[in-house]
Amino acid sequence: MSKRAIFDKKNVLVTGGAGFIGSHLCDELVKTCKVICLDNFFSGDERNVDHLLADPNFMFVRHDTAEPIDLEKLPELQKFKIQFQGIQEIYNLACPMSPKDFSKSKIANILANSYGVKNMLDLAHKYEAKFMQFSSSVVYGPRRGENKKIKENDLGVVDMLSERSSYDEGKRFAETIVQNYKDVYGVDTKIVRVFRTYGPRMKLDDNQMIPDFIRDALDNKDLNIFGDKNFSSSFCYVSDVLDAAIKMMESDSAGPLNIGSDVDINLTDLAQKIINIIGSKSKVVYAQEKLFMTPLCLPDITAAREALGWMPIVTLEKGLEKSIDDLRASKGLKGVKQAF
C-alpha cells in the first residue's frame, strides 16, 4: 500500500471503466473513493458512465491503455492531487472483447493484454498501488470432462494459434506479466479469473447468450442455441462478481481466484426461463456452434469462499429479471435513436 498522504478519499483507477463490468465497478467505488475511469470506447459505451460525469468524485479519461499515460499532467485530474497522493488501487479490466466483431479486435486484444497490462503495472509500481488484473475462465481452455469443476492450480489447455488466441492466450500472458511484476518489483498484485457474467448494460446484438435470448424473446423470435440440447454453462450476476473483486482488493489474497457461479445451467432451460419471464411466444431452436458460444469450464470457488468469505447470492431468476428490465429499456432507446 502506498505510504503517500491521503487527503480525504483514496484515488482508484479503473481501466475499461466504460465497459459492462467496469462501469458497474465504477458505480460501487465512487461511493467511497475518487475514481478515474480510463476507456477508449473500443468496446465500452459512454452511456454506461454518463450518469457519473456530474459526480465530483468521478473523472473520465479517454485513453488506450496500450499507450503510456502520465496522470499527473492531465489538467482534469488536478483536483485529485495525484502528484501528492498518488494512486492507491488499480483495477485493470481493459480488453476490447466483442464476440460479434472479434476479428476486428484481435490486434487490439494483443496490445491490451501485453502493453496495456505493462503500462498499468508501471503505474502501480510508481505509486506503490494495489493492482488487480481481471483475467478470465478462458485461461483454462475448453470444458474437459462431464461437469468437472476447475481449481486455480489447473494449468489449462489453450491453443496459442487458434482463431481466438489473441484473447485466450492473451489473458494467460497477461497473468504472466502480473506475476513477474510482483516477483521482480514487489508490486501488490491480485488476479481474479472471471467466469461468464451477465446483468444490466450488456450490449444488444453482440453475440452474447443472455442478451441475445432476451432480445429475441422480446421480439417473439426463435431463441437460437448455438449447439445442442446438452449445451450448458454457468452464469454469475455482475454484482456478485464485483463483491468478490472489492473484497479481494481489501484482503491479503493475491490469487488467482476463480470468481463465478459453480452451478451448471442447461441453455435450453435458461432460454425457456427467459421466455416464461417475458411471456414471449418464442421457441427454442438449435444452430451451429459459434466461436465464443462454447461450453466453458465450471469454476471451483472453494478458494474464493475460504479467502474472502464469498459466494454468489443473486439467484438466476432475480438476475434475469433485472437484466430483462434493463435490456428492454435499452432496446427501446436504441429504437428511438434509430428513428431520428
- Catalytic choice (91, 127, 167, 198): 167
3-state secondary structure of 255: coil
Q: Does residue 167 have an active-site annotation?
A: yes
In whole angstroms, give the CA distance from residue 27 to residue 24. 5
- Which whole-number Å values give the CA distances from 182 to 53, 175, 256, in the listed order? 34, 11, 13
How far is residue 212's CA from residue 202's CA, in Å, rounded to a whole number? 10
Write the DSSP assignment of 172-196 as a string of letters.
HHHHHHHHHHHHHH---EEEEEE--
d(CA 16, CA 183): 25
Phi-psi category of 44—alpha, beta or left, where left has phi over 0 and alpha has psi -120 to 50?
beta
**326, burial (CB in 10 Å: exposed 0-12, middle 13-18, buried 19+):** middle
Q: Which residue has the cell 467496469?
A: 22
Nearest to 21 by CA among 43, 50, 54, 53: 43
- For the stretch 139-178, what's the b/e string if a residue is b when 16 or more beta carbons lie within 10 angstroms of its beta carbon? bbbebeeeeebbebebebebeeeeebbbbbbbbbbbbebb
Block residue for cell numbers 491453443: 159
d(CA 244, CA 258): 10
Please give the positions annotated as active site.
Answer: 167
